[in-house]
Structure 1
Amino acid sequence: MQKTQKLYMPDAEVSYIAHFLSGEESDAYFRKLMEQVSWQQESIKLFGKLQPMPRLTAWYGDKGYTYSGLHNRPQPWLPVLQELKRKVELASGHTFNSVLLNLYRTGQNSMGWHSDDEAALGQEPVIASLSLGGERKFRFRHKTRKDIEPVNVTLNHGSLLLMQGPTQHHWLHQVPKTARAVEPRINLTFRNVNV
């Protein structure tokens, strides 16, 4: 039985399943995604300049999606992504119509502070984040309350992090760079795009 851990975070609803997939399943899915996903090196505008993203990305699903000024046209679902989507939907009790994949090749690949609060995701979006490959630290910090300590979670191979309720309104999250030697990591963030 998968054990769900609720994170103590005021103004948020976040839960974590450390062993959502078995080691064997996780290895197999990681290999398939590395081979089958059409990974892209996108650029985003930062401080008025186009910069390459510090990771590779891919967008699959039923709807397009815009974030950081970058419009993602959906690629049709791969069978492996549909399979993972069904598993995540069953575990979370929510349905998803899109997935953003990130490939962190080294510890220098990262994701800056942000929240998934675009209007297209609705009032209280549900984001299901599946991690495969090398362990990475995932950090949360409250947007306005300095009295609340940041929260760190180590996302391991085969884990599922579920962010829902008011989480995106009140908290930022990031995957920081690390100087440690880390294995490549694939992250799939399943979401429901409304427009």
Structure 2
Amino acid sequence: MNLFPPAEGAPPGFRYEEDFISREEEQQLIAHIRELPLQPFQFGAYEGKRRVVSFGSRYDYTRHAVKDALPPPDWTLSIIARVEQFGGPGSAPIRQVLCTEYEEGVGIGWHRDKAHYGDVFGLSLASECTFRFRRAAGKGWQRFHLDVEPRSLYMMSDESRHVWEHSIPPVASIRFSMTFRTLAAGN
């Protein structure tokens, strides 16, 4: 595995590692995700184009709170342990695993993950995507983007997690991701 230091201009607290998993592991994870009961992403009265399923916990957009979800399947446990290790000494344990399918032409708009969650890790599978960041800077935006490769892992903590927004423009081909979240203090 090659650990790449943040590229120039990357938000503080953002880390990225290519080839976090092998091609064989990637294919196994994709096969498992394809077998899951993925449902269109619901946020309030709106339905997103991506399909998801949560384990451990889920965010309830109606109650604006984190709720329990089914425990993570056994096939996720070793990857959860590796992601926690990537978080470094003293990192909080992973409390949510979100599996997502993005069909060709689907992306995700500008947002910050809910404040109920702490650090956020993303494992990209099947195809690359462009991961975009922005934050207000005077009358404009300070921006950063990174082409995220399949099998890579990113981590957002500190400013990259709490100050910067992020988005993914529509993908060129089907993409899967596994998002791992810790809980914020007090949740």
Q: Which interval holds the TM-score relative to the shorter structure?
A: 0.7 to 0.9
> Is 1:186 matched up with 2:183?
no
User: Who is 1:18 aligned against?
Assistant: 18
- Please give the secondary structure, in 2, of the residue aligned with 1:88: helix
User: Who is 2:97 aligned against?
Assistant: 99
CA distance in 2, matches of 1:172, 1:31: 31
CA distance in 2, matches of 1:67, 1:7: 34
Report how far residue 89 of structure 1 moved.
Answer: 1.1
139-148 vs 159-168, greater mean Cα deviation: 139-148
CA distance in 2, matches of 1:52, 1:168: 24
Number of residue pairs matched by the alignment: 181
Q: Is the 8 A contact 2:50 2:100 kept in 1?
A: yes
The Cα offsets for residues 4-25 of structure 1, whole Å up to 9 and x where unpaired, read as 3323347621011011112222
- Please give the secondary structure, in 2, of the residue aligned with 1:56: strand
- Please give the secondary structure, in 1, of the residue aligned with 2:76: helix
Letter in 1 for 2:108: M
**Aligned structure 1 segments of 4 or more residues deviating by more than 6 angstroms:** 68-71
The Cα offsets for residues 77-120 of structure 1, whole Å up to 9 and x where unpaired, read as 1011212111111222232111122210212x1111001242x2
- Please give the secondary structure, in 2, of the residue aligned with 1:166: helix
Unaligned runs of 5+ in 1: none
Report how far residue 140 of structure 1 moved.
Answer: 0.5
Instruction: Output the aligned Cα RMSD.
Output: 2.4
TM-score, with length taken from structure 2:
0.84
TM-score, with length taken from structure 1:
0.81
Give the fraction of aligned pairs with identical amino acids, expressed as a percent.
Answer: 24
Letter in 1 for 2:76: L
Report how far residue 189 of structure 1 moved.
Answer: 1.3
Once the two structures are superposed, the pairs formed by residues 68-147 of structure 1 within 5 Å of their partners are 73-93=68-88, 94=91, 95-107=93-105, 109-118=106-115, 120-121=116-117, 125-145=118-138
Report how far residue 69 of structure 1 moved.
Answer: 6.6
CA distance in 2, matches of 1:175, 1:165: 20
CA distance in 1, matches of 2:8, 2:63: 33
- Please give the secondary structure, in 1, of the residue aligned with 2:60: strand
CA distance in 1, matches of 2:113, 2:46: 20
